[in-house]
Amino acid sequence: MKTRIAILSFAHMHAWSYADCLRQLPDVELCDIWDDQRKRGREAADRFGAPFAPDLDRLLGRKPDGVIITAENIRHRELTEKAAKAGCWVLCEKPIATTVPDAKAMIRACAKAGVGLGTAFPCRYATPVKLAREKLQAGELGEIYAVTCTNHGQSPGGWFADDRLSGGGATMDHTVHVADLLRWMLGREFTKVYAEVGNQLHRRTLKTDDLGSIHMTMQGGIRINHIASWSRPASFPTWGDVTMEFIGEKGVLWLDAFNQKIRVFDDTAGKLIWDGWGDNPDLGLVADFVDAVRNRRAPSVTGEDGLRALEVTVAAYKAARTGKTVTL
């Protein structure tokens, strides 16, 4: 019997990758696609050979085993609560929500319904990240003193640049990835956050932040410096990066999560392209979710993980507004 997974909205570009991942997995059916923008939803349904469901309630009434939510950030709570009430396992795109109360409500709704809630943090499934975590947890660097991180990307525009729909700009979009990885790799929680954010690069086209400089402290006094940005131009070879430099008592570890690539000079595209040859982290994320649905377990990256990463980002915006360090 196939595991039936529906995708709720193609507002987020990651939905296209997740749908392709579902098609690669054995005994999995992309059973329905819902989107409040019918044109976009029908295009996705045609591309992936799945039914388009214009009525969300009817879709949920057909009882899919699980749903992947890739709508605008502000809609994550609403869609998660509806899916949980219908008895569906949920994988929600990051950030899990735009506010901490919404994230907590999502966790409560899924717990009450007895369904699993996962947060889409695919970076955990990149082989370089997993190998770096193994070295850190084995104590090869000894005590960790500090970490310098980046998550740069191209400006996605659209609803991402509308705070009412996204909850924030580059700082919201990119800090949650790094916050989640640090918690997972170091096994520590964040204690303090200071940040300065601004619109430095896209003043003519964006009304939200495109750059955030975030300074954090983790348990044990580990100091974290992170730059989140939409700084990559349209001509850049790839969407962006996730890098980390861990400074420990026994040495330094440098991580470039997506450096498994081939340089391709593409005359058709008219630019240099980095074509990745490494594994597909999205596939690892989606495969884990499908396994969680089948075995009725919590996804490996939980809703609680999504909440903790969101708390850091919310604290960063508060610190930027007040000019003061925020204690978690």
Instruction: Specify if 250 maps to a domain.
Output: yes
| pLDDT for position 229 | 97
Domain that holds residue 42: 3-120
| pLDDT for position 234 | 85
Which residue has 């498994």 as its token pair?
A: 260
CATH number for the domain spanning 74: value is 3.40.50.720
21 CB-side CA count, 13 A:
22
Question: Where a domain ends, among 61, 91, 120?
Answer: 120
Residues across the chain: 328
Residue type, 271: K
| pLDDT for position 314 | 98
For residue range 257-293, what is the model confidence (pLDDT) as tens digits? 999 999 999 999 888 999 988 889 999 999 999 999 9
Q: Give the separation between CA 104 and CA 98, rounded to whole angstroms.
A: 11
| pLDDT for position 186 | 98
139 and 112 part of one domain:
no
Alpha-carbon dihedral angle through residues 303, 308, 310, 315, given to the nearest 10 degrees: 160
Mean pLDDT of the chain: 96
101 and 136 part of one domain:
no
More confident residue, 321 or 201: 321
Residue type, 80: T
Q: Give the separation between CA 239 and CA 246, rounded to whole angstroms.
A: 24
For residue range 192-236, what is the model confidence (pLDDT) as tens digits? 999 999 998 888 788 899 999 999 999 999 999 999 999 999 888
Q: Give the separation between CA 23 and CA 221, rounded to whole angstroms.
A: 44
Instruction: Specify if 286 maps to a domain.
Output: no
CB environment 5-44: b (16+ within 10 A), e (fewer): bbbbbbbbebbbbbbbbbeebeebbbbbbbbeeeeebeeb
Number of domains composing the chain: 2
| pLDDT for position 200 | 87
Give me the percent of the chain exceeding a pLDDT of 90.
91
For residue range 113-133, what is the model confidence (pLDDT) as tens digits? 999 999 999 999 999 999 999
Question: Where a domain ends, among 71, 89, 120?
Answer: 120
Cβ contact 143:108 at 8 Å: no
Instruction: Specify if 292 maps to a domain.
Output: no
Question: Where a domain ends, among 120, 139, 163?
Answer: 120
171 and 22 part of one domain:
no
174 and 322 part of one domain:
yes
Give me the percent of the chain exceeding a pLDDT of 70.
100
Mean pLDDT of 34-60: 97
Q: pTM for this one?
A: 0.96
Report the run of H or E that residue 309 belongs to, with start and end: helix 303-322
Closest CA to 185 of 305, 314, 286, 328: 305
- Inter-CA distances, 262 with 37, 197, 238, 266, 267, Å: 36, 34, 11, 12, 15
| pLDDT for position 203 | 83
